[in-house]
Structure 1
Amino acid sequence: MQVVAPPSPSDAARAGDGLVLRDVRIALGKAELFRIGLTVHPGEIATIMGPSGRGKSTLLAHIAGFLDPAFSASGEVRLGGEDLLALAPEERRLGLMFQDSLLFPHMSVAGNLLFALPQRIRGRRRRRAAVDEALADVGLEGLGERDPVTLSGGQASRVALLRTLLAEPRALLLDEPFSRLDRDLRGQVRTFVFERARSSGLPTLLVTHDHEDAEAAGGPILDLGE
């Protein structure tokens, strides 16, 4: 069992629109895997590290509202002062990125991004213009009609992040999103994702077993393997 001290009231107060985990406990059956507290400020990237099977991804699933019934969780999770656990998963407005880009294979690149655009952006021309602008902003101009399967690993990762950001999330949850990329590409995509998270002012929680990822994140690190 790993126990990490909860955030102090002053930390939580400074978080503003940040993500606050207070005495969050994850258990499998009667076995407690860990208990943690953490405050992630807007634009900050906090890292959860540890070996497989320690419940890192389970923590993200709990925050997002998709906890496997085999696990149990308790404690408080707040975002911007709001109790996330009282909301349905679709109401939490959290952006998730995984090992695989999980782009919809039956849609074009543009179709994937259009799917994420908020309904407040109305009209076909306005919506497509927003997508084209987003693609150009990340160096993918002209790839809107491409089939996702034809993209390189780095391109697919950028499109996946764009789709996440276009949905206007309030926080990001990153579950080993760089682990399937080769070393050079991993660094490029990691820099891209972290810069976007910081510039968007999103509290971000990263799960990884890679120390370089944690160092690049630059925020607090909780190691569940200690």
Structure 2
Amino acid sequence: MLKGLELRDVVISKGSTPLVEINATIASGEVLSVMGPSGAGKSTLLAMITGNLAPEFHATGEVWLDGMNITDLPTHQRRVGILFQDDLLFPHLSVGANLAFGLRSGGSKRHRAAQIAQALREVNLEGYADRDPATLSGGQKARVALMRMLLADPCALLLDEAFSRLDSALRTQVRDLVFERARARDLPVVMVTHDLEDAKAAGGTVFTIAPHKN
């Protein structure tokens, strides 16, 4: 079975205007960086991969993940994780409860607690399970969001300007952590970014979406 993410003859249009045309194979542990001006269709491509394409857009082509055609599967069955520029933690839940939201249903309470504790250890937040997310720094929130997504056991990772709101030092730290965790789990990654430094840090291939003419 071919591992990785494949975008086969994908074309995304709005009305009669093609926005994105791409053929790409992202191997496990590799990163495809998608760059281009605002409004070019970068985030729209991620929406197509996750199955959340807005109705004003039309897409053709296929998305394959680990040898399976997921193009027509509902979002929750695709096993594609995504991180946004906002951490999107639930403010009314503790850090541990936020992480538990990423876990699949089932399993004993003890086992789930052990999984949460291990996730926090992985990102140097041991003992933070009962903390209020509002008390966390930006970098800590980003780490919790990453581990919540990974606890859902995705087979691919999408990054939608995930580092853009972090200052330069924190951006480097969180970016390196995300890529490290993705490689450790052999996840193919598609990263949307405006920042060439993100693409350089990722290595891999850069795909640039040209501005479209109305």
The interval holding the TM-score normalised by the smaller chain is over 0.9
Cα distance in 1 for partners of 2:20, 2:45 equals: 10
Query: What SS does the corresponding residue of 2:92 show, helix, strand or coil?
Result: coil
Find the residue that maps to 2:91 and give its secondary structure.
Answer: coil
State, as a whole percentage, how many aligned pairs show the same letter: 55
The secondary structure found in structure 1 opposite 2:34 is strand
| Alignment partners' CA distance in 1, 2:78 and 2:200 | 28
- Bigger CA drift: 132-141 or 181-190? 132-141
Aligned residue for 1:162? 147
Q: What value does the CA root-mean-square deviation take over the aligned residues?
A: 1.2
Cα deviation digits, residues 94-129 of structure 1 (max 9, x gap): 101001010111110000111111235x11111111
Which residue does the alignment assign to 1:131?
116
One-letter amino acid matched to 2:118 = E
- For structure 2, list consecutive stretches of 5 or more residues without a partner in the other structure: none
Paired residues, number: 211
Equivalent of 2:92 in 106, 117, 131: 106
Identify which of 120, 134, 138 aligns with 1:149.
134
Q: Which residue is 2:169 aligned to?
A: 184
Counterpart CA distance in 1 for 2:203 and 2:125 is 27
Structure 1 gaps of 5+ residues are 1-12
Structure 1 runs of 4+ with >3 Å offset: none
Match of 1:34 in 2: 20
- Matches of residues 13-52 of structure 1 in structure 2 within 5 Å? 16-52=2-38
Pick which of 122-131 and 164-173 moved more. Answer: 122-131
Q: Distance in 2 between matches of 1:118 and 1:96?
A: 16
Residue identity matched to 1:80 = D
The offset of 1:86, in angstroms, is 2.1
Distance 1:96 1:177 in 2: 9
Of residues 42, 47, 52, the one that matches 1:66 is 52
**SS of the residue 1:140 aligns to:** coil
Is the 8 Å Cα contact of residues 5 and 64 (structure 2) preserved in structure 1? yes
Query: 1-side partners of 2:66 and 2:118: how far apart?
Result: 29
For 2:146 and 2:122, locate their aligned partners in 1 and report how far apart those are by CA, in whole Å.
12
The 1-side partners of 2:48 and 2:191 are apart by 14
* Matching of residue 95 in structure 1 with residue 81 in structure 2: yes
Question: C-alpha offsets along residues 6-63 of structure 1, whole Å, 9 cap, x if unaligned?
Answer: xxxxxxx8xx221000111011111111211100000101110001000000000011
